[in-house]
Amino acid sequence: MSITRQAVINAIAEFRRLGAEMFLKTYGYSMSVSYLLVFNGQQYPSKAILGVAMGKKRTEIQGGAAHAVRTLSKLGFKVIRRVKKEFTKIVKVAAVVTSMLAAKGVVAAELPQFPVEVPRVYASGLDNGYITGAFLTKYWSIGVTASHLSPLDEKYVMELAGTGVEVFCDSGAFEEFSPMIKKFALMDKLAKTTDPAEQASIQQKIDAIMVVPISDTQWRERLATYARLAEVFGQDVAVVAPDKIGDQPETLNRQARYKDEILHLADLGARILVPVQKGDDTQAVFWYKECDVLGKSFIPALPCKRAATTADELYIFVKDVQPELIHLLGMGPFNRAVGEYVSAVASACSQTQVQMDSCQIKTCVGYKFGPKELGGVQKLTYASNAAATFTSNVWEKKAAAFAAVFGSAFYRKG
């Protein structure tokens, strides 16, 4: 059934005439759990307003980012997330657990204060079913990689739909680049040695390194994963468009080849992150070429880890393009250079918002986390046990443990 913007405005007028309680009771709806429609500065239950506008009962319409939010957004309405009472409770519990950890000498990391707004920090690295199943909570923006996402991982991620969690999904294009990093390191080592035997050994290792391009079949499998996520999460999922690290011509070729799939993802509501690779063209010039290939402008995503953009190059790009939002690929909130990069954006255009992702799960729970006498797993175990003192709810327990150990970097913005 088609719906018009005026029909929604009429439903809002009816809501105002009857009042919230009578409106919901009359039409058989309840207050929205996750999303609120904003109109003329006032907030309204998104699913109820849309349902009444469409003349449907509560059981005949779906809410959430993939349905009600997408429909209202396409009609030009603003929809925001509702801050959950459960999340407020988690923050309070986590504060207590954090103080208990501090007594043991464990200090939670705090998200730095930035000169421009950072609406999203994706905690990526959730590519293992054990980690995903054990640690995923309903309270953080998370990141996964399409090429690593097993059916089990995907199942856990899909269960977060409708909770307000935002998902970042990378393509895994870095797989092509990783062997080159090893090759460059060996070539550097080869140049420094004069021992013939060692030179022969290093050269043998260099010759054995194979760089295998991502096949068309693999790209289509990854794009299909994107589509499944977009169908469920809508605007709550951000996906990285096909590219090749450090290769502008091949990046354009891939985006042209999969243009229809990319535009379909956008129609599903997914936020498209378009990697702006370095090469012969300046990144600003290359960005406009990407826009021409795709037929529209999405979110520029500048590599900050592999074939990395420098802070100076980031400043020039933002100064030239003036984007509303920019994504820093592989730049985490605790990276030593993050302040320099975000400041570069602020200096170039104070209106540009910044979002970022990095493998924070591995950073925080990995092999080199914190003092050896109290490593990542022990910290989580201790924090989880401490959280259990205040709540028996399994989700709250996990969330409080995460919040206490990892700090505010993982709090999703309300």
pLDDT at 248: 96
Per the document, the length of the chain is 414
Cβ atoms 32, 46 nearer than 8 A: yes
Q: CB atoms < 10 A from the CB of 17, how many?
A: 9
Distance CA 9, CA 52 (A): 11
Q: Which CATH class is domain 107-173+214-370?
A: alpha beta
> What's the token pair of residue 89?
């409770």
Write down the pLDDT at residue 190: 79
Whole-number Å distance between alpha carbons of 119 and 247: 29
What span, in angstroms and rounded, lies between the C-alpha atoms of 323 and 300?
Answer: 8
Structure confidence at residue 363 (pLDDT)? 53
DSSP assignments along 328-370, one per residue: EET--TT-TTHHHHHHHHHHH-TT-EEEEEE-HHHHHHSTT-S
Identify which of 392, 395, 383 has the alpha carbon closest to the alpha carbon of residue 97: 383
Tokens of 178: 């990783």
**What's the pLDDT score for residue 74?**
87
**Mean predicted confidence (pLDDT) in 16-34:** 83
Apex 399 CA angle, 396 and 400, nearest 5? 80
Hey, what are 274's tokens? 């378009």
- pLDDT range class, residue 370, cuts 50, 70, 90: very low
pLDDT tens profile 266-282: 998 899 999 999 999 99
Q: From CA 277, how far away is CA 250, in angstroms rounded? A: 10
Question: Domain residue spans in the chain?
Answer: 5-81, 107-173+214-370, 177-208
Question: pLDDT class for 373, splitting at 50, 70, 90?
Answer: very low
pLDDT at residue 354 greater than cutoff 60: yes
Q: What is the mean pLDDT of residues 86-90?
A: 58
Statement: residue 70 has pLDDT above 70 = yes
- Please tell me the distance from the alpha carbon of residue 338 to that of residue 372, in angstroms, as a whole number: 26
Q: Is residue 409 predicted with pLDDT exceeding 50?
A: no
Per-residue pLDDT, 255: 98
Q: Which residues pair with 376 in a beta bridge?
A: none
Residue 344 CB neighbours (<10 A): 23
* 3-state class (DSSP) for residue 167: strand
pTM value is: 0.69
pLDDT of residue 414: 34
From 361, 362, 327, 358, select the one nearest 345 (Cα to Cα): 327
Q: What is the pLDDT of residue 405?
A: 63
Predicted local distance difference test score (pLDDT) of residue 302: 97
What's the whole-number mean pLDDT along residues 250-265?
97
**Mean pLDDT (whole number) for 81-107:** 64
The pLDDT score that the predictor gives to residue 2 is 77
Pick the residue with more confidence: 136 or 381?
A: 381
pLDDT over 90 percentage in the chain: 34
Angle, vertex CA 120, rays to CA 335 and CA 259, nearest 5: 105
Question: Rounded mean pLDDT of 316-332?
Answer: 94
pLDDT, residue 368, reads 40
- Reply yes or no on whether the pLDDT at 123 is more than 80: no
Q: What is the pLDDT of residues 355-364, one digit of tens each?
A: 998 776 555 5
Average confidence score pLDDT of the chain: 80
- Stronger pLDDT, 183 or 228, i.e. the higher one: 228
- Amino acid 341: pLDDT: 93
- pLDDT category of residue 129 using cuts at 50, 70 and 90: very low
CB count, 10 Å around CB of 225?
Answer: 20
Nearest to 297 by CA among 285, 310, 288: 288
Helix (H, G, I), strand (E, B) or coil at 26: helix
Within 13 Å, how many C-alpha atoms sit on residue 21's CB side?
0
The answer to whether 256 touches 219, Cβ cutoff 8 Å, is: no
pLDDT at 412: 40
Cα(197)–Cα(268) distance, integer angstroms: 58
